[in-house]
């Protein structure tokens, strides 16, 4: 199936969405996520509330929107891995792609991680997002195994475990103010499960 070409309008809309998200996150960091309304965020960004809500249905979406792109990159990397590579190793490369944007600005990434951790609403929405992408990544594992549409429990467990390793690595990285390399923390978390995954893969 051929993908629709990206238009100038799509590019412009993406740029506006990115700017609004950036303003929203900065405003939430200063004022506190739970204390700020969508109307106040819109005002800070210089747009109407209705305009803001056309780009983001909720405040939570504005904060977490960047992660959607990160997960999209992870899916692309997983699809591109050699088919003879075991699933756990392929997932490791996908998870490294997932955390790569954290290196763009360590200070901003740490602040965003703390913002999410401090809000029950953001944590809940993040879990929903992670569950959705877990299913998508598991679907890619099924494709790699030559069984498109046959998403087994095993594939779901593998992707859930890999995503949880990212979550734990980011939590530890945030706790030490980024003083330890995030990829090293991720690899440490993944290595804890690697021997068991090697055995498990034989039965998938």
Q: Which residue has the higher pLDDT, 196 or 67?
A: 67
Residue 13 has a pLDDT of 80
Work out the number of other CB atoms within 10 angstroms of the CB of residue 160. 16
What is the Cα–Cα distance from 21 to 66, expressed in whole angstroms? Answer: 8
Q: Which residue has the higher pLDDT, 39 or 7?
A: 39
What is the Cα–Cα distance from 5 to 66, expressed in whole angstroms? Answer: 22
Q: Which residue has the higher pLDDT, 201 or 186?
A: 186
Residue 4 has a pLDDT of 54
* pLDDT tens-digit readout, 51-97: 999 999 899 999 998 888 899 999 999 999 999 999 999 999 999 99
Residue 204 has a pLDDT of 46
Cβ pair 182, 103 in contact under 8 A: yes
Task: State the SS3 of the chain.
Answer: CCCCCCCHHHHHHHHHHHHHHHHHHHHHHHHCHHHCCHHHHHHHHCCCHHHHHHHCCCHHHHHHHHHHHHHHHHHHHHHHCCCCCCHHHHHHHHHHHHHHHHHCCHHHHHHHHHHHHCCHHHHHHHHHHHHHHHHHHHHHHHHHCCCCCCCCHHHHHHHHHHHHHHHHHHHHHHHCCCCCCHHHHHHHHHHHHHHHHHHHHCCC
CA-based nearest residue to 93, from 73, 67, 65: 73
Among the residue ranges 4-13, 36-45, 111-120, 122-131, the one predicted with the least confidence is 4-13
Q: Which residue has the higher pLDDT, 196 or 132?
A: 132
Tell me: pLDDT of 1 over 50. no
**pTM listed for this prediction:** 0.84
Residue 95 has a pLDDT of 97
Percent of the chain at pLDDT exceeding 90: 66
* pLDDT tens-digit readout, 134-173: 999 999 999 999 988 889 999 999 999 999 999 999 999 9
- Please report, to the nearest 10 degrees, the dihedral formed by the alpha carbons of residues 120, 30, 60, 41 taken in order: 140
Residue 196 has a pLDDT of 57
Assigned CATH topology for domain 59-201: Tetracycline Repressor; domain 2 (1.10.357)
Q: Which of 15-24, 128-137, 185-194 has the highest mean predicted lDDT (pLDDT)?
A: 128-137
Map out the domains of the chain as residue ranges.
Answer: 1-57, 59-201
Q: Which residue has the higher pLDDT, 6 or 49?
A: 49
Q: Which CATH number fits domain 1-57: 3.50.50.60, 3.40.50.12160, 1.10.10.60, 3.30.1330.60?
A: 1.10.10.60
Q: Do domains 1-57 and 59-201 have the same CATH topology?
A: no
Residue 106 has a pLDDT of 94
Residue 171 has a pLDDT of 95
């Amino acid at each position: 199936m051929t993908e629709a070409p990206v238009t100038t309008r799509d590019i412009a809309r993406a740029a506006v969405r990115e700017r609004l998200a950036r303003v929203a996150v900065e405003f939430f960091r200063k004022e506190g996520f739970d204390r700020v309304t969508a109307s106040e965020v819109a005002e800070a960004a210089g747009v109407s509330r209705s305009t803001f809500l056309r780009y983001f249905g909720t405040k939570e979406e504005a904060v977490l929107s960047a992660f959607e792109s990160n997960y999209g990159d992870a899916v692309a990397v997983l699809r591109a891995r050699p088919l003879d590579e075991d699933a756990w190793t392929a997932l490791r490369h996908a998870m490294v792609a997932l955390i790569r944007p954290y290196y763009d600005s360590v200070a901003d990434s740490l602040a965003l991680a703390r913002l999410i951790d401090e809000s029950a609403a953001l944590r809940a929405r993040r879990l929903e997002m992670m569950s959705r992408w877990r299913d998508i990544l598991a679907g890619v594992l099924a494709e790699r195994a030559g069984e498109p549409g046959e998403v087994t429990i095993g594939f779901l467990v593998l992707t859930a475990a890999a995503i949880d390793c990212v979550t734990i690595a980011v939590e530890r990285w945030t706790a030490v103010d980024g003083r330890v390399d995030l990829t090293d923390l991720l690899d440490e978390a993944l290595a804890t499960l690697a021997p068991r995954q090697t055995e498990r893969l034989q039965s998938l």
